[in-house]
Structure 1
Amino acid sequence: MSKRFEGKSIIVTGGGSGIGAASCRLFAEAGGKVLVCDRTEAAHDTAATIREAGGIAAARVMDAGVEADVQAMVAAAVDLHGGLDVLFANAGISGGRESILEADEALWAETLRVNLIGPALAIKYAAPVMVEAGGGAIICTASVAGINSGAGSSHYSASKAGVMSLVKTAAQQLTGSGVRVNAICPGVIETGMTKPVFDYAREAGKLAKIGRINPLQRAAQPEEIGTVALFLASDDASYLNGQSIAVDGGLSSSHPVTRQLFGQVAV
Protein backbone atom coordinates (compact mmCIF):
# COMPACT_ATOMS: atom_id res chain seq x y z
CA MET A 1 0.00 0.00 0.00
CA SER A 2 1.13 3.54 -0.78
CA LYS A 3 2.50 5.43 2.22
CA ARG A 4 0.29 8.45 1.52
CA PHE A 5 -0.20 9.11 5.25
CA GLU A 6 3.49 8.82 6.13
CA GLY A 7 4.09 10.73 9.36
CA LYS A 8 0.47 11.94 9.62
CA SER A 9 -1.28 12.01 12.99
CA ILE A 10 -4.64 10.27 12.86
CA ILE A 11 -7.46 9.71 15.36
CA VAL A 12 -10.16 7.09 14.85
CA THR A 13 -13.04 6.78 17.32
CA GLY A 14 -14.89 3.52 17.58
CA GLY A 15 -11.57 1.92 16.68
CA GLY A 16 -12.04 -1.21 18.73
CA SER A 17 -14.06 -3.10 16.14
CA GLY A 18 -15.75 -3.06 12.75
CA ILE A 19 -15.26 -0.05 10.50
CA GLY A 20 -13.10 1.72 13.07
CA ALA A 21 -10.66 -1.14 13.57
CA ALA A 22 -10.37 -1.76 9.83
CA SER A 23 -9.74 1.94 9.22
CA CYS A 24 -7.07 2.08 11.92
CA ARG A 25 -5.21 -0.79 10.28
CA LEU A 26 -5.49 0.78 6.83
CA PHE A 27 -4.29 4.19 8.01
CA ALA A 28 -1.33 2.55 9.77
CA GLU A 29 -0.46 0.47 6.69
CA ALA A 30 -0.41 3.76 4.74
CA GLY A 31 2.18 5.18 7.15
CA GLY A 32 -0.09 7.01 9.58
CA LYS A 33 0.48 7.36 13.32
CA VAL A 34 -2.85 6.23 14.72
CA LEU A 35 -4.54 6.96 18.03
CA VAL A 36 -7.14 4.21 18.41
CA CYS A 37 -10.05 5.37 20.56
CA ASP A 38 -12.96 3.32 21.84
CA ARG A 39 -15.16 3.10 24.91
CA THR A 40 -13.92 -0.46 25.50
CA GLU A 41 -10.53 -2.04 26.08
CA ALA A 42 -10.73 -3.32 22.50
CA ALA A 43 -8.91 -0.12 21.53
CA HIS A 44 -5.75 -1.67 22.99
CA ASP A 45 -6.27 -4.85 20.92
CA THR A 46 -6.47 -2.88 17.67
CA ALA A 47 -3.38 -0.84 18.57
CA ALA A 48 -1.45 -3.97 19.49
CA THR A 49 -2.32 -5.60 16.17
CA ILE A 50 -1.03 -2.54 14.32
CA ARG A 51 2.23 -2.47 16.28
CA GLU A 52 2.77 -6.20 15.72
CA ALA A 53 2.51 -5.52 11.98
CA GLY A 54 5.17 -2.81 12.24
CA GLY A 55 2.86 0.20 12.35
CA ILE A 56 2.61 3.08 14.81
CA ALA A 57 -0.41 3.12 17.12
CA ALA A 58 -1.48 4.07 20.62
CA ALA A 59 -4.79 3.40 22.33
CA ARG A 60 -7.15 5.44 24.45
CA VAL A 61 -10.31 4.31 26.24
CA MET A 62 -12.83 7.15 26.13
CA ASP A 63 -16.45 8.06 25.50
CA ALA A 64 -16.94 9.89 22.19
CA GLY A 65 -20.01 11.66 23.55
CA VAL A 66 -18.34 13.16 26.62
CA GLU A 67 -16.78 16.58 26.02
CA ALA A 68 -13.91 16.21 28.47
CA ASP A 69 -12.96 12.85 26.93
CA VAL A 70 -12.94 14.28 23.41
CA GLN A 71 -10.88 17.31 24.44
CA ALA A 72 -8.36 15.02 26.18
CA MET A 73 -8.29 12.71 23.15
CA VAL A 74 -7.24 15.50 20.80
CA ALA A 75 -4.64 16.73 23.28
CA ALA A 76 -3.25 13.20 23.55
CA ALA A 77 -2.86 12.91 19.77
CA VAL A 78 -0.97 16.21 19.69
CA ASP A 79 1.29 15.12 22.54
CA LEU A 80 1.94 11.62 21.17
CA HIS A 81 2.22 12.33 17.46
CA GLY A 82 3.07 16.00 17.17
CA GLY A 83 -0.24 17.33 15.87
CA LEU A 84 -3.44 16.19 14.23
CA ASP A 85 -3.96 15.75 10.48
CA VAL A 86 -6.96 13.44 10.25
CA LEU A 87 -9.87 12.66 12.53
CA PHE A 88 -12.35 9.90 11.72
CA ALA A 89 -15.33 10.39 14.07
CA ASN A 90 -16.70 6.91 13.59
CA ALA A 91 -18.04 5.89 17.02
CA GLY A 92 -21.74 5.17 17.14
CA ILE A 93 -24.51 3.06 18.64
CA SER A 94 -27.63 1.50 17.12
CA GLY A 95 -29.89 2.51 19.99
CA GLY A 96 -32.05 -0.59 19.47
CA ARG A 97 -35.00 -1.08 17.15
CA GLU A 98 -37.84 0.49 19.14
CA SER A 99 -40.44 2.22 16.99
CA ILE A 100 -41.18 5.93 17.25
CA LEU A 101 -44.05 5.04 19.60
CA GLU A 102 -41.83 2.89 21.81
CA ALA A 103 -38.59 4.87 22.11
CA ASP A 104 -38.46 6.94 25.30
CA GLU A 105 -36.68 10.18 26.07
CA ALA A 106 -33.65 8.44 27.54
CA LEU A 107 -33.13 6.33 24.42
CA TRP A 108 -33.41 9.36 22.15
CA ALA A 109 -31.00 11.34 24.33
CA GLU A 110 -28.36 8.59 24.48
CA THR A 111 -28.50 7.89 20.74
CA LEU A 112 -28.13 11.57 19.88
CA ARG A 113 -25.39 12.02 22.51
CA VAL A 114 -23.13 9.41 20.97
CA ASN A 115 -24.07 9.55 17.29
CA LEU A 116 -24.50 13.29 16.75
CA ILE A 117 -23.08 15.23 19.67
CA GLY A 118 -19.99 12.99 19.53
CA PRO A 119 -19.01 14.04 16.00
CA ALA A 120 -19.86 17.67 16.82
CA LEU A 121 -17.47 17.57 19.77
CA ALA A 122 -14.81 15.92 17.62
CA ILE A 123 -15.03 18.78 15.13
CA LYS A 124 -15.06 21.35 17.93
CA TYR A 125 -11.73 20.21 19.34
CA ALA A 126 -9.98 18.82 16.26
CA ALA A 127 -10.61 21.73 13.90
CA PRO A 128 -8.68 24.43 15.82
CA VAL A 129 -5.58 22.22 15.95
CA MET A 130 -5.83 21.57 12.23
CA VAL A 131 -6.48 25.23 11.42
CA GLU A 132 -3.34 26.24 13.28
CA ALA A 133 -1.36 23.70 11.24
CA GLY A 134 -2.80 24.93 7.94
CA GLY A 135 -5.46 22.30 7.30
CA GLY A 136 -6.66 18.77 7.79
CA ALA A 137 -9.47 16.34 7.15
CA ILE A 138 -12.39 15.30 9.33
CA ILE A 139 -14.60 12.36 8.39
CA CYS A 140 -17.78 11.43 10.24
CA THR A 141 -19.73 8.21 10.04
CA ALA A 142 -23.36 8.81 9.08
CA SER A 143 -25.54 6.08 7.53
CA VAL A 144 -27.92 5.30 4.69
CA ALA A 145 -30.50 5.46 7.50
CA GLY A 146 -29.94 9.22 7.44
CA ILE A 147 -30.79 9.39 3.73
CA ASN A 148 -34.06 7.43 3.57
CA SER A 149 -36.38 5.69 6.00
CA GLY A 150 -36.35 1.93 6.26
CA ALA A 151 -32.70 1.42 7.21
CA GLY A 152 -32.93 2.02 10.95
CA SER A 153 -35.05 3.11 13.89
CA SER A 154 -36.43 6.65 14.13
CA HIS A 155 -33.88 7.75 16.74
CA TYR A 156 -30.91 6.18 14.94
CA SER A 157 -32.01 7.55 11.56
CA ALA A 158 -32.51 11.04 12.97
CA SER A 159 -29.07 10.99 14.58
CA LYS A 160 -27.41 10.03 11.30
CA ALA A 161 -29.38 12.60 9.29
CA GLY A 162 -28.06 15.08 11.83
CA VAL A 163 -24.48 14.02 11.03
CA MET A 164 -25.11 14.68 7.34
CA SER A 165 -26.32 18.18 8.21
CA LEU A 166 -23.44 18.68 10.63
CA VAL A 167 -20.75 18.14 7.99
CA LYS A 168 -22.41 20.72 5.73
CA THR A 169 -22.59 23.41 8.41
CA ALA A 170 -19.10 22.59 9.70
CA ALA A 171 -17.60 22.82 6.21
CA GLN A 172 -19.22 26.21 5.73
CA GLN A 173 -18.21 27.58 9.11
CA LEU A 174 -14.62 26.45 8.51
CA THR A 175 -14.44 28.29 5.18
CA GLY A 176 -10.91 29.40 4.37
CA SER A 177 -9.35 27.27 7.11
CA GLY A 178 -8.04 24.43 4.96
CA VAL A 179 -10.04 21.91 7.00
CA ARG A 180 -12.37 19.66 5.02
CA VAL A 181 -15.35 17.91 6.66
CA ASN A 182 -17.18 15.02 5.00
CA ALA A 183 -19.27 12.01 5.97
CA ILE A 184 -19.57 8.38 4.94
CA CYS A 185 -23.00 6.72 4.81
CA PRO A 186 -22.44 2.95 5.12
CA GLY A 187 -25.12 0.50 4.09
CA VAL A 188 -25.43 -3.07 5.38
CA ILE A 189 -22.15 -4.06 6.99
CA GLU A 190 -21.08 -6.48 9.69
CA THR A 191 -19.77 -4.56 12.69
CA GLY A 192 -19.98 -4.88 16.45
CA MET A 193 -23.24 -2.93 16.26
CA THR A 194 -24.88 -5.26 13.72
CA LYS A 195 -23.32 -8.48 15.00
CA PRO A 196 -26.55 -9.80 16.60
CA VAL A 197 -28.35 -9.58 13.25
CA PHE A 198 -25.55 -11.37 11.41
CA ASP A 199 -25.23 -14.01 14.15
CA TYR A 200 -28.97 -14.72 13.98
CA ALA A 201 -28.79 -15.04 10.18
CA ARG A 202 -25.88 -17.48 10.45
CA GLU A 203 -27.71 -19.63 12.98
CA ALA A 204 -30.82 -19.63 10.80
CA GLY A 205 -28.85 -20.44 7.65
CA LYS A 206 -29.91 -17.16 6.06
CA LEU A 207 -26.63 -15.24 5.98
CA ALA A 208 -26.70 -15.03 2.18
CA LYS A 209 -29.96 -13.07 2.37
CA ILE A 210 -28.41 -10.12 4.23
CA GLY A 211 -27.90 -7.25 1.84
CA ARG A 212 -29.84 -8.89 -1.00
CA ILE A 213 -32.07 -5.84 -1.49
CA ASN A 214 -29.21 -3.66 -2.77
CA PRO A 215 -28.08 -3.95 -6.41
CA LEU A 216 -24.82 -5.67 -5.43
CA GLN A 217 -26.90 -8.17 -3.41
CA ARG A 218 -24.47 -8.50 -0.54
CA ALA A 219 -23.33 -6.91 2.69
CA ALA A 220 -20.09 -4.94 2.83
CA GLN A 221 -16.90 -5.71 4.69
CA PRO A 222 -15.50 -3.10 7.13
CA GLU A 223 -12.44 -2.57 4.92
CA GLU A 224 -14.70 -1.43 2.08
CA ILE A 225 -15.81 1.48 4.23
CA GLY A 226 -12.31 2.07 5.57
CA THR A 227 -10.87 2.57 2.10
CA VAL A 228 -13.39 5.35 1.51
CA ALA A 229 -12.39 6.97 4.80
CA LEU A 230 -8.77 6.92 3.60
CA PHE A 231 -9.77 8.46 0.30
CA LEU A 232 -11.70 11.29 1.99
CA ALA A 233 -8.75 11.93 4.30
CA SER A 234 -6.24 12.01 1.46
CA ASP A 235 -5.13 14.68 -1.00
CA ASP A 236 -7.00 12.69 -3.68
CA ALA A 237 -10.19 14.16 -2.16
CA SER A 238 -8.78 17.69 -1.92
CA TYR A 239 -11.89 19.24 -3.54
CA LEU A 240 -14.47 17.20 -1.61
CA ASN A 241 -15.99 19.15 1.26
CA GLY A 242 -19.31 19.17 3.09
CA GLN A 243 -20.43 15.96 1.38
CA SER A 244 -22.01 12.69 2.54
CA ILE A 245 -20.90 9.73 0.44
CA ALA A 246 -23.14 6.66 0.38
CA VAL A 247 -21.16 3.41 0.42
CA ASP A 248 -24.10 1.04 0.32
CA GLY A 249 -24.01 -1.16 -2.76
CA GLY A 250 -26.62 1.08 -4.34
CA LEU A 251 -29.22 0.65 -1.58
CA SER A 252 -30.05 4.36 -1.33
CA SER A 253 -30.53 4.70 -5.08
CA SER A 254 -34.11 3.52 -4.64
CA HIS A 255 -36.94 3.78 -2.09
CA PRO A 256 -36.62 1.04 0.54
CA VAL A 257 -39.60 -0.39 2.39
CA THR A 258 -40.09 1.31 5.74
CA ARG A 259 -41.59 0.06 8.97
CA GLN A 260 -45.34 0.67 8.96
CA LEU A 261 -47.10 0.52 12.30
CA PHE A 262 -50.73 0.65 11.20
CA GLY A 263 -50.94 -1.50 8.09
CA GLN A 264 -50.06 -1.03 4.45
CA VAL A 265 -51.97 0.73 1.71
CA ALA A 266 -52.59 -1.41 -1.38
CA VAL A 267 -51.20 0.07 -4.60
Structure 2
Amino acid sequence: MTRSLEGRRAIVTGAGNGIGRASALLFAREGAKVLCLDRTAEAAEDVAQLIVAEGGTALAMAADAGDEAAVQGFTQRCVAEWGGVDIVFANAGISGGRPPIVEQTVEYWNEILRVNLVGPFLAIREAAPHMIRQGGGSIVLTASVAGLRAGAGHSAYAASKAGVISLAQTAANDFAGTGIRVNAICPGRTQTAMTKFIFDKARANGTEDKLGHLTPLRRVGMPEEIAEMALFLASDRSSFVNGQAYAVDGGLTSTHPFAMA
Protein backbone atom coordinates (compact mmCIF):
# COMPACT_ATOMS: atom_id res chain seq x y z
CA MET A 1 0.00 0.00 0.00
CA THR A 2 1.31 3.45 -0.91
CA ARG A 3 2.34 5.51 2.08
CA SER A 4 0.59 8.88 2.34
CA LEU A 5 3.77 11.01 2.41
CA GLU A 6 5.93 8.94 0.07
CA GLY A 7 8.79 11.07 -1.26
CA ARG A 8 7.69 14.25 0.51
CA ARG A 9 10.22 16.54 2.20
CA ALA A 10 9.13 17.68 5.63
CA ILE A 11 10.36 20.11 8.26
CA VAL A 12 9.21 19.56 11.85
CA THR A 13 10.08 22.08 14.55
CA GLY A 14 10.03 21.12 18.20
CA ALA A 15 10.75 17.58 17.04
CA GLY A 16 12.72 16.59 20.12
CA ASN A 17 9.77 15.59 22.26
CA GLY A 18 6.01 15.41 22.58
CA ILE A 19 3.85 16.22 19.59
CA GLY A 20 6.80 17.12 17.37
CA ARG A 21 8.62 13.88 18.10
CA ALA A 22 5.53 11.75 17.52
CA SER A 23 4.80 13.61 14.28
CA ALA A 24 8.36 13.35 12.94
CA LEU A 25 8.32 9.60 13.52
CA LEU A 26 4.87 9.21 11.95
CA PHE A 27 5.75 11.35 8.92
CA ALA A 28 8.83 9.22 8.32
CA ARG A 29 6.87 5.99 8.65
CA GLU A 30 4.52 7.38 6.01
CA GLY A 31 7.43 7.90 3.61
CA ALA A 32 8.58 11.49 4.21
CA LYS A 33 12.16 12.65 4.51
CA VAL A 34 12.16 14.59 7.77
CA LEU A 35 14.34 17.46 8.92
CA CYS A 36 14.06 17.34 12.72
CA LEU A 37 14.52 20.66 14.48
CA ASP A 38 14.82 21.29 18.18
CA ARG A 39 16.53 23.78 20.46
CA THR A 40 18.51 20.87 21.87
CA ALA A 41 20.81 19.19 19.39
CA GLU A 42 20.75 15.91 21.30
CA ALA A 43 16.94 15.75 21.24
CA ALA A 44 16.78 16.44 17.51
CA GLU A 45 19.51 13.90 16.78
CA ASP A 46 17.81 11.26 18.91
CA VAL A 47 14.63 11.47 16.83
CA ALA A 48 16.55 11.49 13.55
CA GLN A 49 18.47 8.39 14.62
CA LEU A 50 15.24 6.60 15.50
CA ILE A 51 13.88 7.38 12.04
CA VAL A 52 17.03 6.11 10.33
CA ALA A 53 17.00 2.98 12.50
CA GLU A 54 13.49 2.27 11.22
CA GLY A 55 14.68 2.58 7.63
CA GLY A 56 13.63 6.17 7.06
CA THR A 57 15.48 9.30 5.99
CA ALA A 58 16.10 12.13 8.44
CA LEU A 59 18.42 14.96 9.32
CA ALA A 60 18.76 16.78 12.63
CA MET A 61 19.54 20.40 13.43
CA ALA A 62 19.59 22.48 16.57
CA ALA A 63 17.65 25.68 15.95
CA ASP A 64 15.61 28.33 17.72
CA ALA A 65 12.29 28.26 15.85
CA GLY A 66 11.65 31.90 16.69
CA ASP A 67 14.95 33.20 15.31
CA GLU A 68 14.88 34.59 11.78
CA ALA A 69 18.37 33.46 10.78
CA ALA A 70 17.77 30.00 12.21
CA VAL A 71 14.52 29.55 10.28
CA GLN A 72 16.20 30.71 7.08
CA GLY A 73 19.04 28.29 7.78
CA PHE A 74 16.99 25.16 8.32
CA THR A 75 14.72 25.91 5.35
CA GLN A 76 17.75 26.31 3.12
CA ARG A 77 19.19 23.08 4.53
CA CYS A 78 16.06 21.16 3.57
CA VAL A 79 16.13 22.57 0.04
CA ALA A 80 19.85 22.01 -0.36
CA GLU A 81 19.73 18.41 0.85
CA TRP A 82 16.51 17.26 -0.79
CA GLY A 83 15.72 19.77 -3.53
CA GLY A 84 12.67 21.40 -1.97
CA VAL A 85 10.17 21.39 0.86
CA ASP A 86 6.66 19.95 0.69
CA ILE A 87 5.56 20.03 4.34
CA VAL A 88 6.25 22.32 7.25
CA PHE A 89 4.94 21.46 10.69
CA ALA A 90 5.60 24.61 12.74
CA ASN A 91 5.07 22.93 16.08
CA ALA A 92 7.65 24.44 18.44
CA GLY A 93 6.27 26.46 21.31
CA ILE A 94 6.71 27.45 24.93
CA SER A 95 4.18 27.87 27.73
CA GLY A 96 6.01 30.32 29.95
CA GLY A 97 4.47 28.89 33.11
CA ARG A 98 1.41 30.46 34.73
CA PRO A 99 2.32 33.79 36.37
CA PRO A 100 -0.60 36.14 37.17
CA ILE A 101 -1.16 38.72 34.46
CA VAL A 102 -0.27 41.58 36.83
CA GLU A 103 3.18 40.01 37.26
CA GLN A 104 3.87 39.49 33.57
CA THR A 105 6.46 41.73 31.93
CA VAL A 106 6.76 43.02 28.40
CA GLU A 107 9.88 40.88 28.03
CA TYR A 108 7.88 37.82 29.06
CA TRP A 109 5.19 38.54 26.45
CA ASN A 110 7.77 39.27 23.77
CA GLU A 111 9.48 35.92 24.28
CA ILE A 112 6.25 33.92 24.16
CA LEU A 113 5.07 35.74 21.05
CA ARG A 114 8.51 35.40 19.45
CA VAL A 115 8.54 31.62 19.72
CA ASN A 116 4.83 30.79 19.48
CA LEU A 117 3.67 33.26 16.82
CA VAL A 118 6.61 34.89 15.07
CA GLY A 119 8.19 31.44 14.68
CA PRO A 120 5.29 30.02 12.64
CA PHE A 121 5.17 33.23 10.59
CA LEU A 122 8.86 32.86 9.75
CA ALA A 123 8.39 29.19 8.86
CA ILE A 124 5.59 30.15 6.46
CA ARG A 125 7.50 33.04 4.94
CA GLU A 126 10.64 31.02 4.29
CA ALA A 127 9.00 27.85 2.97
CA ALA A 128 6.31 29.46 0.81
CA PRO A 129 8.50 30.62 -2.11
CA HIS A 130 9.83 27.08 -2.55
CA MET A 131 6.34 25.62 -2.35
CA ILE A 132 5.01 28.12 -4.88
CA ARG A 133 7.72 27.10 -7.36
CA GLN A 134 6.79 23.45 -6.80
CA GLY A 135 3.09 24.12 -7.28
CA GLY A 136 1.99 23.72 -3.68
CA GLY A 137 2.62 22.30 -0.23
CA SER A 138 1.10 21.88 3.19
CA ILE A 139 1.88 24.03 6.22
CA VAL A 140 0.58 22.91 9.60
CA LEU A 141 0.76 25.09 12.71
CA THR A 142 0.38 24.03 16.33
CA ALA A 143 -2.09 26.33 18.06
CA SER A 144 -4.08 25.29 21.17
CA VAL A 145 -7.57 25.12 22.59
CA ALA A 146 -6.26 28.00 24.72
CA GLY A 147 -6.44 30.09 21.57
CA LEU A 148 -10.15 29.34 21.16
CA ARG A 149 -11.45 30.48 24.53
CA ALA A 150 -10.31 31.24 28.06
CA GLY A 151 -9.64 28.63 30.70
CA ALA A 152 -6.99 26.50 29.02
CA GLY A 153 -3.93 28.70 29.40
CA HIS A 154 -2.65 31.98 30.78
CA SER A 155 -3.07 35.25 28.91
CA ALA A 156 0.20 35.50 27.00
CA TYR A 157 0.17 31.87 25.89
CA ALA A 158 -3.51 31.98 24.94
CA ALA A 159 -3.07 35.21 23.00
CA SER A 160 -0.12 33.76 21.10
CA LYS A 161 -2.12 30.69 20.15
CA ALA A 162 -5.13 32.75 19.09
CA GLY A 163 -2.68 34.55 16.84
CA VAL A 164 -1.57 31.23 15.36
CA ILE A 165 -5.18 30.39 14.48
CA SER A 166 -5.59 33.75 12.77
CA LEU A 167 -2.26 33.27 11.01
CA ALA A 168 -3.47 29.97 9.53
CA GLN A 169 -6.61 31.65 8.25
CA THR A 170 -4.96 34.75 6.82
CA ALA A 171 -2.00 32.90 5.30
CA ALA A 172 -4.33 30.42 3.60
CA ASN A 173 -5.94 33.39 1.83
CA ASP A 174 -2.63 35.10 1.12
CA PHE A 175 -1.62 32.01 -0.86
CA ALA A 176 -4.84 31.67 -2.83
CA GLY A 177 -4.22 30.02 -6.16
CA THR A 178 -0.71 28.80 -5.31
CA GLY A 179 -1.58 25.30 -4.13
CA ILE A 180 -0.31 26.00 -0.62
CA ARG A 181 -2.62 24.95 2.21
CA VAL A 182 -2.24 26.31 5.75
CA ASN A 183 -4.05 24.80 8.71
CA ALA A 184 -3.74 24.72 12.48
CA ILE A 185 -4.16 22.08 15.17
CA CYS A 186 -5.57 23.02 18.58
CA PRO A 187 -4.53 20.30 21.02
CA GLY A 188 -6.32 19.96 24.32
CA ARG A 189 -4.41 18.87 27.41
CA THR A 190 -1.80 16.46 26.13
CA GLN A 191 0.94 14.65 28.00
CA THR A 192 4.14 16.28 26.80
CA ALA A 193 7.30 17.83 28.22
CA MET A 194 5.55 21.22 28.20
CA THR A 195 2.75 19.96 30.43
CA LYS A 196 4.97 17.78 32.64
CA PHE A 197 4.74 20.22 35.54
CA ILE A 198 0.94 19.87 35.54
CA PHE A 199 1.12 16.08 35.64
CA ASP A 200 3.84 16.15 38.29
CA LYS A 201 1.80 18.46 40.48
CA ALA A 202 -1.32 16.31 40.08
CA ARG A 203 0.62 13.19 41.04
CA ALA A 204 2.05 14.93 44.09
CA ASN A 205 -1.44 16.03 45.13
CA GLY A 206 -3.00 12.65 44.43
CA THR A 207 -5.31 14.13 41.79
CA GLU A 208 -3.81 12.60 38.65
CA ASP A 209 -7.09 10.79 37.97
CA LYS A 210 -8.82 14.18 37.59
CA LEU A 211 -6.64 15.29 34.67
CA GLY A 212 -8.89 15.41 31.62
CA HIS A 213 -12.04 14.90 33.68
CA LEU A 214 -13.72 17.91 32.04
CA THR A 215 -13.62 16.27 28.60
CA PRO A 216 -16.36 13.91 27.40
CA LEU A 217 -13.65 11.25 26.96
CA ARG A 218 -12.58 11.74 30.60
CA ARG A 219 -8.87 11.61 29.83
CA VAL A 220 -5.96 13.60 28.47
CA GLY A 221 -4.48 13.21 25.03
CA MET A 222 -1.26 11.56 23.94
CA PRO A 223 1.22 13.08 21.44
CA GLU A 224 0.60 10.26 18.98
CA GLU A 225 -3.07 11.24 18.77
CA ILE A 226 -2.19 14.82 17.82
CA ALA A 227 0.35 13.51 15.33
CA GLU A 228 -2.43 11.69 13.48
CA MET A 229 -4.14 15.02 12.80
CA ALA A 230 -0.82 16.52 11.70
CA LEU A 231 -0.39 13.63 9.26
CA PHE A 232 -3.90 14.11 7.87
CA LEU A 233 -3.33 17.83 7.30
CA ALA A 234 0.14 17.26 5.83
CA SER A 235 -1.08 14.66 3.36
CA ASP A 236 -3.25 14.76 0.26
CA ARG A 237 -6.04 13.19 2.29
CA SER A 238 -6.85 16.75 3.34
CA SER A 239 -6.49 18.20 -0.16
CA PHE A 240 -9.62 20.37 0.18
CA VAL A 241 -8.91 21.47 3.75
CA ASN A 242 -7.46 24.96 4.06
CA GLY A 243 -7.46 27.83 6.56
CA GLN A 244 -8.93 25.70 9.34
CA ALA A 245 -8.16 25.18 13.04
CA TYR A 246 -8.98 21.71 14.34
CA ALA A 247 -9.47 21.02 18.03
CA VAL A 248 -8.07 17.64 19.03
CA ASP A 249 -9.15 17.74 22.64
CA GLY A 250 -11.36 14.82 23.60
CA GLY A 251 -14.41 17.02 23.18
CA LEU A 252 -13.36 19.73 25.64
CA THR A 253 -14.35 22.65 23.40
CA SER A 254 -17.69 21.12 22.46
CA THR A 255 -19.06 22.74 25.61
CA HIS A 256 -18.08 25.33 28.22
CA PRO A 257 -16.63 23.25 31.06
CA PHE A 258 -15.76 24.96 34.30
CA ALA A 259 -14.36 23.73 37.57
CA MET A 260 -13.27 25.54 40.70
CA ALA A 261 -9.55 25.20 41.41
TM-score bracket for the superposition, by shorter chain length: over 0.9
2:90 matched residue in structure 1: 89
Kindly provide the CA deviation profile for residues 78-128 of structure 1, in whole angstroms up to 9, marking residues without a partner as x. 111221000000000001101221211111000000000000000000111
Q: What TM-score, normalized to structure 2?
A: 0.96
AA of the residue aligned to 1:125? E
Deviation per CA, 1:173-199, whole angstroms, max 9, x where unpaired?
101000000000000101111111112
Secondary structure of the equivalent of 1:223?
helix
Q: Write the letter of the residue equivalent to 2:214.
A: I
Give the letter for the 1:26 counterpart.
L
- State the AA in 2 paired with 1:154: S
Question: Distance between the aligned counterparts of 2:49 and 2:24, measured in 1?
Answer: 11
For residues 203-230 of structure 1, what are the alpha-carbon distances to aligned partners after superposition, in whole Å with 9 as ceiling and x for unaligned? 4433221111011110011000001000
Give the Cα separation in 1 of the matches to 2:70 and 2:216: 40
User: 1:258: Cα distance to partner?
Assistant: 8.3
1:82-161 equivalent positions in 2, closer than 5 A = 82-161=83-162
Distance 1:7 1:211 in 2: 38
How far apart are the structure 2 equivalents of 1:104 and 1:148? 22
Q: What is residue 184 of structure 1 aligned with on the other side? A: 185
Looking at structure 1, the residues matched to 198 and 129 of structure 2 have their Cα atoms a distance apart, in angstroms, of 39
Summarize the Cα distance change of 1:226–1:247 in structure 2 as closer, same or farther, 3 Å threshold. Answer: same
Query: How many Å apart are 1:129 and its aligned residue?
Result: 0.6
Q: Supply the distance in 2 between the matched residues of 1:44 and 1:206 (Cα, whole angstroms).
A: 35
Match in the other structure for 1:66 = 67
Shift of 1:200: 2.4
Who is 1:40 aligned against? 40
CA positional deviation for 1:2: 5.0
Aligned to 1:215: 216
Q: 1:116 and 1:11 mapped to 2: Cα distance?
A: 17
Going from structure 1 to structure 2, the CA distance change for 1:76 and 1:207 (only over 3 Å counts) comes to same
1:259 is displaced (CA, Å) by: 8.9
Return the alpha-carbon distance in structure 1 between the equivalents of residues 93 and 179 of structure 2.
27
Amino acid at match of 2:219: R
1:264 counterpart residue number: none
Give the equivalent residue in structure 2 for 1:11.
11
Distance 2:160 2:20 in 1: 19
Alignment partner of 1:101: what SS? helix
CA distance in 1, matches of 2:214, 2:23: 26
Partner amino acid for 1:65? G
SS of corresponding position for 1:191: coil
Amino acid at match of 2:3: K
**Counterpart of 1:124 in 2: which secondary structure?**
helix
CA distance in 2, matches of 1:256, 1:117: 31
Aligned to 1:29: 29
2:249 matched residue in structure 1: 248
What residue is the counterpart of 1:265 in the other structure? none
* Counterpart Cα distance in 2 of 1:51 and 1:199: 32
> 1:197-212 to 2 correspondence within 5 Å?
197-212=198-213
Deviation readout 1:155-185 (Å, 9 max, x if unpaired): 0000000000001110111010000000000
Distance of aligned partners of 1:211 and 1:258 in 2 relative to their CA distance in 1, 3 Å threshold: closer
| Cα distance in structure 2, aligned partners of 1:144 and 1:167 | 15
Quick one: which amino acid aligns to residue 144 of structure 2?
Answer: S
Letter of the 1:187 partner, please give it: G
Are the counterparts in 2 of residues 171 and 242 from structure 1 also a CA contact under 8 Å?
Answer: yes
Q: Structure 2: which 5+ runs fail to align?
A: none
* Counterpart in the other structure of 2:20: 20
Give TM-score scaled by structure 1 length.
0.94
Residues 203 and 54 of structure 1, relative CA distance in 2, 3 Å threshold = farther
Match of 2:168 in 1: 167
Q: Over the residues paired in the alignment, what is the CA RMSD in angstroms?
A: 1.4
Unaligned runs of 5+ in 1: 261-267
Distance (Å, rounded) in 1 between the aligned partners of 2:214 and 2:71: 37
User: Distance between the aligned counterparts of 2:260 and 2:218, measured in 1?
Assistant: 21
